[in-house]
Structure formats: structure tokens, C-alpha cells
């Protein structure tokens, strides 16, 4: 389940006044949920036995196969992560020192449908695998991209300067641009990053 979760994208979700990042994977015999408020990271992994037991506790009037239950949970969670809220489904969360509980209230076959995700603090290795490492890799990729684009802009400025030295002029003044100043660009970029982090 966790290896499949690695391929899932993070999504921003809001419960009441709190905003979280979350990702989830539903298989045929269980699910795994990872959720973070960027201060803490919680997760829950549940196999078919745990899903069956909890479904009996929360939905005594419903008798459905575990795979159908998992499919219903998938159909409730995926729209939430895609930012498409269903008016018939309510989500709420509760934080405690032991973890985070995510409560779901909906309907299934005309009957009330309830589910609780009981998330505990995620192990450090899981946080690193799903959050820290991808962020570092993305940061390095963006740094390389910025360096390549800066180099390309400097080359373009040199090319334009060469055209000007040869007597070429612009047909339209509005196309004229200022030369790219790499140092000023880096300073502005770092200032924006600091502002965004504070």
C-alpha cells in the first residue's frame, strides 16, 4: 500500500478553519492515508480485517462486502482531494496528543454512512519518503531550471547586443526589453521566498 501511495499526488484540503495536505490510496483489500498540517504528519493504514471490523462498529445497519466499502470510501475521498465537495457528505477532524481523527458522514444505499480515519503520528522514515525527499528533489530540479533559464537569458542578451552593434533596430519599440540582471533576480527571488515562508 505504501509503495502505491508514493505515486499519489498531495492535495490541499480544508476541514473547518484548518488546512491540510493529504494523499490517500485505496486498494482492493485496504487503504493508506497520509495527512499533514506542515507541523505534524499523521497516517493510517488499514487492511481488510480492520475495515470490516470498523464498518460493523460504525454502520450496524449496513451489510456490504469490504471491497464495496473501500470503493465507497474512495468515491468520497477522491472528490474531496480534487476540491469537489459533495453537499451530502460532511468531513470533520479532531486533533489530540495521540493523533488525528478524520470523521466522514454520508449516505450509502439510502442509509447513513459513517467512517472514522484514526491517524497516528507518521514514522520519520515515512515523512522523509513522502514529504522531505520529494521536496528536496523538486527544489534541486527548480534550481537547475532557474540556472538554465538564467544562462539562456544572458545568451539572448548577448545575441541582442550583437545585433544592435551590427546596426539592427527593433520594428516596434514596445518589444524592447531591459537586459537580464542575474544578481538582482536572485535577490528578488530570495526575498519572495522569505516573505512566503513568514
CATH of the domain at 138: 1.10.287.450
What pLDDT is recorded for position 181? 87
What are the phi and psi torsion angles at 140 (to 5°)? -65, -40
pTM for this prediction: 0.75
* pLDDT for res 191: 83
Task: Say if residue 115 is in the same domain as residue 141.
Answer: no
Query: Which residue ranges of the chain lie beneath pLDDT 50?
Result: none
Chosen domain end from 68, 90, 122: 122
Yes or no: say if 59 and 109 are a contact pair by the CB < 8 Å rule: no
Question: What would the pLDDT profile of 33-71 be if each residue is shown by its tens digit?
Answer: 999 998 999 999 999 999 999 988 998 887 878 888 899
The backbone torsions φ and ψ at residue 64, rounded to the nearest 5 degrees and listed phi first, read: -135, 155
Question: Considering 122, 155, 185, which residue would you say is the last residue of a domain?
Answer: 122
Residue-level pLDDT at 99: 94
My answer on whether 101 and 142 are in the same domain is: no
C-beta of residue 40 within 8 angstroms of C-beta of residue 24: no
Counting the structural domains of the chain, the total is 2
How many whole angstroms separate alpha carbon 90 and alpha carbon 184?
48
Amino acid at each position: 500500500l505504501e509503495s502505491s501511495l508514493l505515486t499519489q499526488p498531495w492535495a490541499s484540503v480544508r476541514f473547518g478553519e484548518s488546512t491540510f495536505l493529504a494523499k490517500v490510496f485505496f486498494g482492493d483489500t485496504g487503504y493508506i492515508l497520509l495527512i499533514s498540517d506542515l507541523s505534524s504528519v499523521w497516517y493510517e493504514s488499514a487492511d481488510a480485517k480492520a475495515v470490516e471490523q470498523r464498518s460493523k462498529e460504525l454502520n450496524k445497519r449496513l451489510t456490504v462486502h469490504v471491497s464495496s466499502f473501500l470503493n465507497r470510501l474512495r468515491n468520497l475521498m477522491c472528490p474531496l482531494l480534487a476540491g469537489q465537495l459533495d453537499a451530502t457528505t460532511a468531513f470533520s477532524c479532531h486533533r489530540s496528543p495521540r493523533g488525528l481523527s478524520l470523521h466522514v458522514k454520508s449516505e450509502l444505499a439510502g442509509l447513513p454512512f459513517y467512517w472514522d480515519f484514526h491517524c497516528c503520528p507518521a514514522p520519520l522514515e515515512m515523512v522523509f519518503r513522502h514529504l522531505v525527499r520529494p521536496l528536496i528533489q523538486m527544489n534541486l530540479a527548480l534550481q537547475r531550471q532557474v540556472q538554465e533559464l538564467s544562462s539562456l537569458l544572458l545568451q539572448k542578451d548577448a545575441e541582442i547586443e550583437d545585433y544592435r552593434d551590427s546596426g539592427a533596430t527593433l520594428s516596434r519599440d514596445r518589444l524592447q526589453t531591459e537586459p537580464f540582471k542575474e544578481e538582482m533576480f536572485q535577490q528578488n527571488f530570495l526575498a519572495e521566498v522569505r516573505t512566503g515562508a513568514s
